[in-house]
Structure 1
Amino acid sequence: MAGRPTIKDVAREAGVSATTVDRALNGRSIVREDTLRKIADAAHRIGYHGKGIFQSRLEKPLPEVRLGFILLKKTQEFYKNFEREIHHAIAERRDVRATADIRFSSSQSPQEFAELLASLGRTCDAVACTAVNDQRLNQVVQDLRDRNVIVISILNDFAQGIRHSYLGLNNMKIGRLAAWMITRTVHDPGKLAVFVGGNRWHGHDLREVGFRSLVRETGRGFTVLDTLVNLETRQVTYEATLDLLHRHPDLKGLYVAGGGMEGAIAALREVHDRPKVALVVNEVTAESRNALIDGYVVMAISTPLPELCRKLVDLMVRSTNGEEDSASGQHFLEPKIVLPELL
């Protein structure tokens, strides 16, 4: 090699681009540790004059960040997948040494959410939580904010104006999407029904509002019955759906805006030997997938968990570094639409 070794020579020896070597040399952005090690070894072999810089970057310890997460029912397939994707997203990070403390709320009690938030806030730099809307949580979030602990609401936007950011779906649009599918699947207008988890889930309220607004806009004569509360449980949804079908045998469509869809699927299968009610649910699980295949579900609106978790961990890390300072920020993800023909 004639003359003094250059960045291009290091790149060729390491099997990477000159741009990557330049980033590693100047610290303009994060370079994976294994790539940085290849560059440092190559620089040492060819006698590059800046080899000490690469080595020093390898020896510099990564910053540590403690991340807390509060999810719902641990036994549900959706939240099992959520937990798995959080661990995957953290494992992908090469710029920090992150640890995850994942807790599960066993109920929809504001007190339990408040206690979990307070507990994680004592040990974590940032906490992401899906929780109900309640004044007791607002106070806990304010206390954590005063102590510079980042709180991010996920899926349901609670503590608005206090929490750092919201990350999830645009719930108003999700409700409109559900109504759009049902009103176009059902050819003869009739009665429609909506299940929400409870009055404390602001996201479910928004889905209901979106659903009703689009139904009105169609002007096709559909009637939306009084909203039903299912506490996001299978059994309550099952019993309420059976009662709904008994009282309204002409029911045309049903939207389960939160959890408990398994109960609605079971009731429809029990009453109708073939699909007669257009059912829209959230998330794809083993049961909803089978119902899609059999025609008992016409559409599932799915949260893109891998994308959500990557963006969530990134938002939490950047927020602890002071890179994200908006207290009213909302970050919406595009839902994944699953239809029978796509399975």
Structure 2
Amino acid sequence: MNQLPSSTRPTMADVARAAGVSPSTVDRVLNARVPVRSDTASRIHEAAQALGYHPVGVIRARLQDERPRRTLGFLLQQRSSAFYGGLADALNAATQASPDMQGRAVVEFLADLAPQAVCTQLEQLAKSCDALALVAADHPRISETIARLRAQGKPVFALVSNLDAAAHAGYAGLDNRRVGRTAAWFITRQARQAGPIGIFVGSHRYQCQELCEMSFRSYVREHAPDFELLEPVVTLESDHYAQEATRDLLQRHPDLVGVYVGGGGIDGVLQALRDHVDSQPAVPLVAVAHDLTPTTREALVSGYLQAVLSHPLPQLAERLVGAMAEALAEPAPLARQIIVPFDIHTPESV
């Protein structure tokens, strides 16, 4: 392969101009003279790579060497859940790929959802981590634990479901008001006639589920007042309980026209819906649930679900890990809000 004449090769000045910095800053990265901000060094690396600058490998090595070593802890729910398994994989990948640090992820799952058990496991995880994120129900004890960890210099983020904790470092998840209203739009537009709609939540203490339910009701009151909204069914995040509760709901309301599953227990709800639809195929029922998993994908394909509103896991994980790195580098007095757009899946899109 012929090499370009030296006069046409990109220079340090070309890289500096493309990166929007001075040549001396590029020199500092190349020769590790003085520390350079990670975002600035990343910009220089990207410019050098795009221009084909010969010492780009040196810049890459400097970038890798200067990134701080960080351990991020993630406390998730239900090890058996396909959603949390996928989220764990995304968090591991995002931490390893972070341009801001040499990251290591420690992912744990909650066996006991009681507030005191959550606090105990969170504090234990914090002993080996620099920053943390957790999925938990809102509770004063959890807020107190987060405040203690913040005082120790360990930021804690709420993940998927926000928390009232004043000391938390931020929230990463969806705009649940839009999620609930979108679910209501689907059901009221696709139902063949007005009638009762059942709503399932895992617990009233999860802010994400509370907001989804409230906004679902708000949309129906505003745009579809002929529909009857039933009292929410609490599944306690249990598939077994959700299945029994769904069967009971269908028996008490044989004219049910819609079901919105805004919380855990989706596998149980779907099993009850399959039994119902298979035994009464002439009774149309519109069902909307959260998060695309092998189970919900199959339910879409089979026609038991009409829509799934889902977290974009790679994007959510990448944004959260970036915010955690920022919180460690530059602590902020106000909580960071990381809102990602949700994905909409239908039987024709999976």
TM-score range, shorter chain: 0.7 to 0.9
Q: Distance in 2 between matches of 1:195 and 1:59?
A: 47
Kept in 1: contact 2:119–2:145 (CA 8 A): yes
Q: What's the TM-score once normalised by structure 2's chain length? A: 0.85
Paired letter, 2:318: R
Paired letter, 1:328: A
Paired letter, 2:264: G
Answer yes or no: is 1:330 the counterpart of 2:316: no
What corresponds to 2:214 in structure 1?
209
Of 316, 320, 331, the match for 1:308: 316
What corresponds to 1:288 in structure 2?
296
The Cα offsets for residues 112-149 of structure 1, whole Å up to 9 and x where unpaired, read as: 21112211222211101111111110110110111111
What corresponds to 2:42 in structure 1?
30
CA gap 1:208/1:43 in 2 versus in 1, 3 angstroms? closer
Q: Secondary structure at the match of 2:113?
A: coil
Query: Structure 1 residue 340: deviation in Å?
Result: 1.0
The Cα offsets for residues 287-327 of structure 1, whole Å up to 9 and x where unpaired, read as: 211111122101000000000000011000111001x5143
Q: Secondary structure at the match of 2:163?
A: coil
Q: Distance in 2 between matches of 1:311 and 1:224?
A: 36
Answer yes or no: is 1:19 the counterpart of 2:18: yes
What corresponds to 2:10 in structure 1?
8
Kept in 1: contact 2:172–2:320 (CA 8 A): yes
Of stretches 151-160 and 297-306 in structure 1, the one that deviates more from structure 2 is 151-160
Kept in 2: contact 1:173–1:210 (CA 8 A): yes
Kept in 1: contact 2:67–2:100 (CA 8 A): yes
CA gap 1:32/1:92 in 2 versus in 1, 3 angstroms? farther
Of stretches 324-333 and 202-211 in structure 1, the one that deviates more from structure 2 is 324-333
What corresponds to 1:102 in structure 2?
107
The Cα offsets for residues 198-252 of structure 1, whole Å up to 9 and x where unpaired, read as: 1221221111111111111124411111111001121111111101111110011
Q: Counterparts in 2 of 1:22-61, with a 5 A limit?
A: 24-25=26-27, 27=36, 28-30=40-42, 42-43=54-55, 57=62, 60-61=65-66
CA gap 1:234/1:61 in 2 versus in 1, 3 angstroms? same
Answer yes or no: is 1:130 the counterpart of 2:135: yes
The Cα offsets for residues 91-112 of structure 1, whole Å up to 9 and x where unpaired, read as: 2124421111111101321112
Q: Secondary structure at the match of 1:341?
A: coil
How many residues are matched? 332
Q: Counterparts in 2 of 1:183-202, with a 5 A limit?
A: 183-202=188-207
CA gap 1:248/1:320 in 2 versus in 1, 3 angstroms? same
Q: Distance in 1 between matches of 2:247 and 2:308?
A: 21
Query: Structure 1 residue 276: deviation in Å?
Result: 2.1
Paired letter, 1:318: E
Q: Distance in 1 between matches of 2:167 and 2:234?
A: 28
Q: Distance in 2 between matches of 1:95 and 1:180?
A: 40
What corresponds to 1:265 in structure 2?
270
What corresponds to 1:47 in structure 2?
none
Kept in 2: contact 1:299–1:338 (CA 8 A): yes
Of stretches 292-301 and 18-27 in structure 1, the one that deviates more from structure 2 is 18-27
Percent identical across equivalent pairs? Answer: 31
* Unaligned segments of structure 2, at least 5 residues: 29-35
